[in-house]
């Protein structure tokens, strides 16, 4: 469909759409902070596809919506309904992202591992006792306030301060040291063993995805 909407001349703050057959980008222009929304015939062979990127067509598209209803984040050509590509190489110490929840209380510190207590507070894990994270919801704190900063329940995290014995590809467990993680499993009698993720090839960066299974040592 051919269409055009504009506030007038092209200038800072204009919002306008061009006919996709002219080759001109369709975009909302906010000056140097330009956000581009452009039709494409390059994605999945559909001229109904829309690409979203920031500032320039030369930048990678951050969001793709195809005419067939597929959505991609960080990928140019989605293969399934929602295709999300993640690259954790840019993480700095004690930061991460992915699936984040924002509820619960407690006294928190960034980067530490917690379980959700029955009282609604996030509490330090400790694999030496099954009541401290064996069968509860686990999360890494992204700050000091769960309701504001959020709690990471699945994703990537640079565990610089709270991960011992990092080794690429290794399993990560709840540690017998409060709020920490370790690639060495617990060995103390009555301790529990629970996997929380895996080390990547980036120093201290882990894929955090706590297992629902656990065992108690005898």
Mean pLDDT of 19-48: 51
Q: Which of 49, 29, 30 has its CA nearest to residue 38?
A: 49
What per-residue confidence (pLDDT) applies to 1? 35
Question: Strand locations in the chain, DSSP E?
Answer: 15-16, 27-28, 35-40, 49-54, 63-65, 71-73, 82-84, 96-101, 113-116, 122-124, 138-141, 151-158, 163-164, 171-174, 181-182, 192-193, 195-199, 205-208, 215-216
Establish if 8 belongs to a structural domain: no
Residue 146 three-state SS: helix
- Are 203 and 111 part of one and the same domain? yes
- Are 109 and 201 part of one and the same domain? yes
Domain limit, last residue, from 65, 84, 103: 84
- Are 94 and 157 part of one and the same domain? yes
Establish if 3 belongs to a structural domain: no
Establish if 2 belongs to a structural domain: no
This prediction's pTM? 0.78
pLDDT tops 80 at residue 168: yes
Structural domain span for residue 124: 89-216
- Are 105 and 180 part of one and the same domain? yes
Find out whether 151 and 142 touch, Cβ atoms under 8 Å.
yes
Q: What is the mean pLDDT of the chain?
A: 84
What per-residue confidence (pLDDT) applies to 62? 79
């Amino acid at each position: 469909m051919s269409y055009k909407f504009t506030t007038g001349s092209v200038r800072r703050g204009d919002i306008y759409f061009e006919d996709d057959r002219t080759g001109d980008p369709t975009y909302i222009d906010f000056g140097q902070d330009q956000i581009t929304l452009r039709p494409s015939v390059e994605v999945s062979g559909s001229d109904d596809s829309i690409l979203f990127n920031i500032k320039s067509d030369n930048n990678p598209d951050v969001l793709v919506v195809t005419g067939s209803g597929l959505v991609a984040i960080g990928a140019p050509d989605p293969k399934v309904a929602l295709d999300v590509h993640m690259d954790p190489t840019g993480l700095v110490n004690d930061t991460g992202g992915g699936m984040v929840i924002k509820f619960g209380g407690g006294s928190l510190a960034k980067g530490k591992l917690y379980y959700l207590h029955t009282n609604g507070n996030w509490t330090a894990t400790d694999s030496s006792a099954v009541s401290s994270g064996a069968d509860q919801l686990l999360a890494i704190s992204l700050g000091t306030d769960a309701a504001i900063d959020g709690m990471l329940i699945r994703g990537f995290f640079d565990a610089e301060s709270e991960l011992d014995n990092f080794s690429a590809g290794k399993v990560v467990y709840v540690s017998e040291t409060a709020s920490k993680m370790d690639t060495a499993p617990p060995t103390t009698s009555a301790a529990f063993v629970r996997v929380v993720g895996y080390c990547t090839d980036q120093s201290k960066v882990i894929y955090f995805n706590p297992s629902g299974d656990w065992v108690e040592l005898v």
